[in-house]
A and B are shown apart, each in its own frame.
Chain A
């Protein structure tokens, strides 16, 4: 054992450990700074992750198509080759249609908010140890992404943006996003109907149900069915970004405030594409 501590192997191990701890300390103090080894490894692996993510999405699409066309599949057993060609064309069409819908929704938002600057991004991976659905996107500093940029998707009616989270760490070609389900995100919000102001954040129990929470003052008159939007206070998020719909309103355990559970406007766990707001006039 003493030989090990005298060996060159131990010296190399000590130097590497010291370097990594130094990067950890710098990373911990300079929030948003991506350590060199992660930045380089991320730049190299991001294309592969993108391809793998695309493959996983494609497999999901193929299985959903098979489910719908079960009866046709039985009948078309004899014409397998011809039907596979038609199905491949259908998948290509659906992919293009989805992309077109995605971009046309944001065109509407852009028309209503001309000072918004968007950057489309694909979700390429998720942290498997994170219960708050945080994810990695395929855009980074080299494409104009900065730390604390809001991340949004279009609402179902395409009329406005829906807050998904913010960029917590921007690497060279990929960035980490913390979602509204996480307790690390705090956004000023208000009930669009009653104008009661509060603070939106996440909690473990709410995140398990795919929800986030809004803390309001005891005198607030927010009710179920109302919509929560961002206030724009502090300039971190633009005004009037949809957060979600209030699905329950109840006093907290000490009855000093009201806690409303919000169903986010987007299904955070199932997102595939998002938009990064690189500029919105308030920042």
Chain B
């Protein structure tokens, strides 16, 4: 019973976290632009959460985060949902079987996930659609955007780790 309420509490907390980050990245004026680009903090948040979620929670929360991002995306609906769901699944499997769950791993995996996301986004929704000056767009927007987004991995990981420690100690639920 206690474990079940802890599970529900955990999912609710993570969903609220993802929703707040989604509002930060989509509502104009809530996040500063750096070199003309905005960050996508939902992506590193999904990765960090998935590293702690050993069951199917990683992909479910990834799916939720992706559906939120799809609401405001001008691109094909479903891309963010699919990407973040698979990213959540892969990250939780990596954490379970291959890598240690620490800040350095979280940063590395986040950087990889963010880079793959931005690369796919650039290829599918800019280059293959015939966007002009692709090299300029890549170096001016894609790389700075990916770097700015990856920066958010560190605070996300710290928040999620603090929360999970409180859950394990039983001080929260």
Asked whether any CB of chain A lies closer than 8 Å to the CB of B108, the reply is: no
A138 to B: closest C-beta gap in Å? 12
Partner of A49, one of B23, B55, B76, B131: B23
**Are A9's CB and B131's CB within 8 A?**
no
Partner of B27, one of A9, A23, A124: A124
**Are A41's CB and B39's CB within 8 A?**
no
**Are A20's CB and B56's CB within 8 A?**
no
A56 to B: closest C-beta gap in Å? 4
Asked whether any CB of chain B lies closer than 8 Å to the CB of A234, the reply is: no
B118 to A: closest C-beta gap in Å? 8
**Are A45's CB and B25's CB within 8 A?**
no
B51-88 to A contact mask, C-beta < 8 Å, 1/0: 00001100100010001101111111111011001100
What is the interface of chain B mostly: helix, strand, loop, or mixed? helix
**Are A56's CB and B74's CB within 8 A?**
no
**Are B82's CB and A123's CB within 8 A?**
no
**Are B77's CB and A17's CB within 8 A?**
no
Asked whether any CB of chain B lies closer than 8 Å to the CB of A204, the reply is: yes
The segment out of A30-38, A77-85, A112-120, A244-252 that lies at the interface is: A30-38
**Are B74's CB and A17's CB within 8 A?**
no
Q: Please judge, given known A-B contacts A24-B77, A38-B67, A56-B30, whether A48 and B23 are in contact too, CB under 8 Å.
A: yes
Asked whether any CB of chain A lies closer than 8 Å to the CB of B141, the reply is: yes
Asked whether any CB of chain A lies closer than 8 Å to the CB of B136, the reply is: yes
Asked whether any CB of chain A lies closer than 8 Å to the CB of B40, the reply is: yes
**Are B121's CB and A41's CB within 8 A?**
no
**Are A28's CB and B76's CB within 8 A?**
yes
Chain A positions 181-203 with a Cβ under 8 Å from a chain B Cβ: 183, 203
**List of B residues within 8 angstroms of A178 by Cβ:** 74
Q: Please judge, given known A-B contacts A56-B30, A128-B40, A204-B132, whether A35 and B72 are in contact too, CB under 8 Å.
A: no
Distance between Cα atoms of A203 and B31 in the complex (Å): 25
Asked whether any CB of chain B lies closer than 8 Å to the CB of A180, the reply is: no
Partner of A27, one of B67, B76, B85: B76
**Are B76's CB and A128's CB within 8 A?**
no
Residue among B28, B67, B75, B79 with the most chain A CB within 10 A? B28
Asked whether any CB of chain B lies closer than 8 Å to the CB of A97, the reply is: no
Asked whether any CB of chain B lies closer than 8 Å to the CB of A134, the reply is: yes
Q: Please judge, given known A-B contacts A17-B85, A129-B121, whether A205 and B133 are in contact too, CB under 8 Å.
A: yes
Asked whether any CB of chain A lies closer than 8 Å to the CB of B26, the reply is: yes
**Are A38's CB and B77's CB within 8 A?**
yes
Distance between Cα atoms of A27 and B73 in the complex (Å): 13
**Are B85's CB and A125's CB within 8 A?**
no
Name which residue of chain B comes closest to A271, CB basis.
Answer: B28
**Are B82's CB and A24's CB within 8 A?**
yes
Asked whether any CB of chain A lies closer than 8 Å to the CB of B44, the reply is: no
Partner of B78, one of A23, A127, A208: A23
Distance between Cα atoms of A27 and B79 in the complex (Å): 11
**Are B82's CB and A17's CB within 8 A?**
yes
Q: Please judge, given known A-B contacts A37-B67, A127-B73, A128-B38, whether A20 and B78 are in contact too, CB under 8 Å.
A: yes
Chain B positions 7-44 with a Cβ under 8 Å from a chain A Cβ: 19, 22-23, 25-31, 36, 38-40
**Are B131's CB and A204's CB within 8 A?**
yes
Partner of B89, one of A13, A56, A124: A13
**List of B residues within 8 angstroms of A267 by Cβ:** none
Binding site for B on A (CB under 8 A): 1, 4, 9, 12-13, 16-17, 20-21, 23-24, 27-28, 34-35, 37-38, 41-42, 45, 48-49, 52-53, 56-57, 59-60, 123-131, 134-136, 168-169, 174, 176, 178, 183, 203-205, 208
Q: List 4 tightest A-B contacts by C-beta distance, closest first.
A: A56-B29, A24-B78, A128-B38, A125-B26
Apart from A16-B63, A45-B19, list 11 A-B contacts with CB within 8 A.
A13-B59, A17-B82, A20-B81, A37-B81, A48-B19, A49-B23, A53-B28, A134-B74, A135-B28, A176-B74, A204-B132
